[in-house]
Amino acid sequence: MTENLPDPTRAEIDQLAGPALIEFGASYCGYCQQRRPWIDALIKANPHIRYFRVEDGKGRRLGRSFGVKLWPTLIFLRDGEEIAREVRPDSQEAIERALQQITTRS
């Protein structure tokens, strides 16, 4: 499920229940545009995952609170806790592996 604006606060993210994905990027980012089809396919195939697409940049606190430095950065969470992170993922499989970590309980 894609969440609409406004962007969530860090406190709201920390309180999330279940699996969630936050994508940090920018609309003008070439790396983000290149990976867009991979991410869109992932979200479409997993509608039970809460998904937040956050436009990041200077002065954006949420990205800073997660230590985001490069785009896209995908943060995979379970119950508000970061379980996996993909920074400029190099394949759709890398994203899928990270997703499995938040949807499969050990």
| Residue count of the chain | 106
Tokens of 40: 């869109």
Rounded to the nearest 10°, the torsion over CA 88, 94, 95, 99 is: -140
Q: What is the pTM of this model?
A: 0.91
The per-residue pLDDT for 1 is: 45
- Using CA atoms, how far residue 47 sits from 19, 20, 71, 106, in Å, is 11, 10, 23, 22
Please identify every stretch of the chain with a pLDDT value under 70, giving residue numbers as ranges: 1-5, 106
